[in-house]
Structures are given as structure tokens and as C-alpha cells.
Amino acid sequence: MALMAEELGEISACVTKGKSKQDLAEESADLLILLMGTAISAEFDLNEAFWQKMEKINKRKSKMVNGKIRVSEFKGIDKN
């Protein structure tokens, strides 16, 4: 988890410091590699988990929040 947090910090630095797309892609790939390693060591199918989550997201109603479309789970919050 600490390595994932570190990689996420490096992704954030790429965005906030205006680094190149290549740098951002490399840091994103590092995070993906760690996620895949987690799936392998925990013995779950990351591909299956991804598509199950996408199915859930696709069933959510979208809402406009601060001028942006969101599909978060809005529990008890009505912001239209």
C-alpha cells in the first residue's frame, strides 16, 4: 500500500508540476503494475473486478455537480 501511495504521489506531482505526458504515463504504468501485482498475490481476477465495477458505475444516475457530470454514489444528497 505504501508503494501505491508513493506512486500516486508521483502521478500527482506530474499533474501539479506540469510534467510531460510521457512522465505521467510512466508513473501511471508503475501504479498499474503494483495493482496487477496485488491482484496476483491476493489471487483475484482484476479484469473481472474491473468489469463488475464498470457495470455498477454504468447503472448509476449522473448528476451535475459544480458544472461537472458525476456518477458517484449520492446517498441522501440531491445536487441538481
pLDDT tens figures, 34-52: 999 999 999 999 999 999 9
pTM, rounded to two decimals: 0.73
When comparing pLDDT for 61 and 13, which is higher? 13
The three-state secondary structure class of 63 is strand
The three cell numbers of residue 33 are 503494475
**Angle in degrees, CA 68, 31, 66, rounded to 5:** 10
Distance CA 79, CA 33 (A): 37
**Widest Cα–Cα separation across the chain:** 42
pLDDT given for residue 73 in this prediction: 75
